[in-house]
Amino acid sequence: MNIAQFAKSTGRLSAQIAAVALTLGAGLAHAQTVTLSDGSINGSSNKYEVEPVKFGSNASSNTTMGAFAVNDGSGASFWVYCLDPLTTANLPGTYTKTSLGTFMNDGSVSNGMRSYTEQFAGTPYTAVQASYDDARLSSDNSNTNKTTIQVQGKIEELYSRAYADSLTSSAKSAAFQFALWELEGETKSTSTYGRSTGGLTTGSSDTAFTGALDKYLKALNTAAGSTGDWASIGLGAITNYTFTVYNSTTSQNLLRVDKASTGVPEPGTLALAGAALFGIAYTRRKAKAGKQA
């Protein structure tokens, strides 16, 4: 093969790789809008309980907490937890799917989506911003403030350890929901999580609920290898999940997780596709050269 032929072949190969890149990239970047409706999993539509909860300076009120099943029209239902404790979920409703990272760290509304910061800047939270949801106000990495990256990390830790456990009973599911809200909105002035102090509290007498909640919160506060850590409460195994936020400007924001794929990560998929195309081109050139010989 002469230089001109090689350049022409390489150009075709580059175009093929670029086409693959555009196809994969478009699929990842495009925001998908779906309609969520009530669902059912194994005959159940919810795993929640009603417990007394106090958000900052608000009066204590009976609050529904826990996972509930929804369907996006794909034929199968899945569990979601609430990310917006002071907003009602309106189903059926239209939602925009986005990643947890985008939800946590995108500071502006785009394509009909409402970020973590914007959620807590809304009207329901104006009365409690100094006592419950001011974790969102931090923009630095000092030891006294919680950044959105740190909040996201704690949410992922809670899910990786306790999500599967939370679905084993309604009491645990309610406890998990409380813990999620605690991580989202606890004040930046405290470095610990608890059900009796801070911006989010509960006076529940339900020992099944408070027992599970205390275990989750203590493990979130405790370093690995210490008494009260995840391993010591039987949740030492780590499960990796992919996180999907169902985002709305008018309804409750919802969080879904799925077990992470053990296959090639998305960036690697693109590289693998390029390598495969190069291999095909190389094989064809080699076969052609063999025939000419």
Q: pLDDT tens for residues 138-197?
A: 444 443 446 788 889 999 999 999 999 999 999 999 999 999 999 998 776 666 888 988
Taking Cα atoms as reference points, which of 89, 84, 123 lies closest to residue 103?
84
Separation in Å, CA 8 to CA 5, 195, 211: 5, 67, 69
Q: Residue 278: its pLDDT value, please? A: 45
Q: Whole-angstrom Cα distance, residue 8 to residue 6? A: 5
Q: Residue 284: its pLDDT value, please? A: 52
User: Which residue shows structure tokens 């309604």?
Assistant: 170
Q: Residue 115: its pLDDT value, please? A: 85
User: Which residue shows structure tokens 């990796």?
Assistant: 240
Q: Sign of dihedral through CA atoms 122, 128, 132, 135?
A: positive
Count of residues for the chain? 293
Instruction: Supply the DSSP string of the chain, one letter for each residue.
Output: --HHHHHHHHHHHHHHHHHHHHHHHHHHHSPEEEEEEE--BTTBSB--EEEEEEETTSPPEEEEES-EEEE-SSS-EEEEEES-TTS---SSEEEEEEEHHHHHH--S--TT---HHHHHTSGGGTTTTTTTSGGGG--S--TTS--HHHHHHHHHHHHHHHHHHHTT-HHHHHHHHHHHHHHHH--TT-S---SSSSSEE-----HHHHHHHHHHHHHHHS-TTSTTSTGGGT------EEEEEEE-SSS--EEEEEEPPSS--HHHHHHHHHHHHHHHHHHHHHHHHHHH-
Q: Which segments of the chain have a pLDDT < 50?
A: 2-29, 138-145, 264-280, 282-283
Cis status, amide bond into 52, omega within 30 of 0: no
pTM of the model: 0.77
